[in-house]
Amino acid sequence: MTQDVNIHAHDAILHISLNRPKALHALTQDMCEAMSDALLRVREDEKLHAVILDHAEGRGFCAGGDVAMVRKSALEDDGKAGRAFFHAEYRLNHLMFTYGTPIVAFMDGVTMGGGVGISQPCEFRVATENTMFAMPEGNIGLFPDVGASWYLPRLPGATGKFLALTAARLDGAECLWAGLATHYLKSEDTAEAKARIAAGEDPSAVLTDMSATPPPARIAENSDKIDLLFGPDTVEGIIEALENSDTEWAEKELKAVRAKCPTTSKVALRQFTENANCETFAENMVMEYRVASRMMLRHDFAEGVRAVLIDKDNDPAWDPAKPEDVHEALIEGIFAEDPAGGEWKPFPQLS
């Protein structure tokens, strides 16, 4: 059992608390497996009232996954360890998505990448004034995964495409507006909310009773522009729409889109199309695992992690460097069946 997750079962509550503060609780394979084991152990327990998911200390809820390890694996063992991590992480995501007992995620801090993957499947998703939500995979040449193919297309208007292509950071009020959070609480009130749920009160009633009025959601002011300018179905079309919009907002978002890995952006939009053909979340995770197995081996991922996390020069050299140079054959290959190491499968008891 890893020390990076605190797991307590008391009365009718399972409490899972991420405990890797120096890494903003970024997920490792051991953490994913420990969480899955704990959830599976009590899955059939009729006395189980709720699962509480939070973090032990620090400003992160969960900042993502162990991308440095995945990069090392891609460079040294042809991605074997990286695939094992993604397989375990996606199994956890699917287990949470299909879990029968309510899970309450307290997104009281940085919630990015892998943190999105373990919060969005939860029936209750609590945002606070500390919440900082983003899917920043375009910055490192990966792709919006951990179920993002399922969640992002279901957000209002073109919000999902906007988040995927810009890596925009949303605060707690914006998460509530977009439907990424179900409730908004003051951070100082979350301890009481957890205590009341742990004492046996209904999570929905507790969270409704303790909800605070959030500040205005800034993204709401730009929702019309987002729907219009991020409405096109291609990256090139979105860039053209932004170029033709004579506003400071469009100029800022154009810069954000252009800075992202072009292949990531193309893959992200293809995910929207592919998800429409997925009848279940498990099918969606099969699709994402195929993409992960290939994207992590590409030059862009190693280069992106280098630029953002290792050398920190924030100047990655993408290849291809422009969206128009990312050909359809490349995208088809990334989404093809039968990746190295085989297809993703859910836990046998969930099949």
Let me know if 114 is a catalytic residue. yes
Beta-carbon contacts of 188 under 8 Å, excluding residues fewer than 6 positions away, are none
For residue 183, which phi and psi values (nearest 5 degrees)? -145, 155
Q: State the catalytic residue, choosing from 60, 113, 114, 141.
A: 114
Let me know if 108 is a catalytic residue. no
Distance of CA 285 to the CA centre of its chain: 13
* Nearest CA among 47, 39, 83, 78 for reference residue 65: 83
Instruction: Provide the residue type at 159 as one letter.
Output: T
Helix (H, G, I), strand (E, B) or coil at 6: strand
Q: Are 19 and 5 in contact (CB under 8 A)?
A: yes
Tell me how far apart the alpha carbons of residues 173 and 152 are, in angstroms, rounded to a whole number. Answer: 17
Let me know if 332 is a catalytic residue. no
DSSP result, 239-300: HHHHHT--SHHHHHHHHHHHHS-HHHHHHHHHHHHHHTT-SSHHHHHHHHHHHHHHHTTSHH
Let me know if 304 is a catalytic residue. no
The beta strands (E) that lie in the chain are given as 5-10, 13-18, 50-55, 60-62, 103-107, 110-112, 124-127, 132-134, 170-171, 183-184
Q: State the catalytic residue, choosing from 33, 54, 60, 65.
A: 65
Q: State the catalytic residue, choosing from 145, 253, 288, 300.
A: 145
* Nearest CA among 83, 82, 105, 113 for reference residue 35: 105
Tell me how far apart the alpha carbons of residues 210 and 193 are, in angstroms, rounded to a whole number. Answer: 7
Upper half-sphere CA count for residue 337 (Cβ side, 13 Å) = 1
What residues are annotated to the active site? Answer: 65, 114, 137, 145
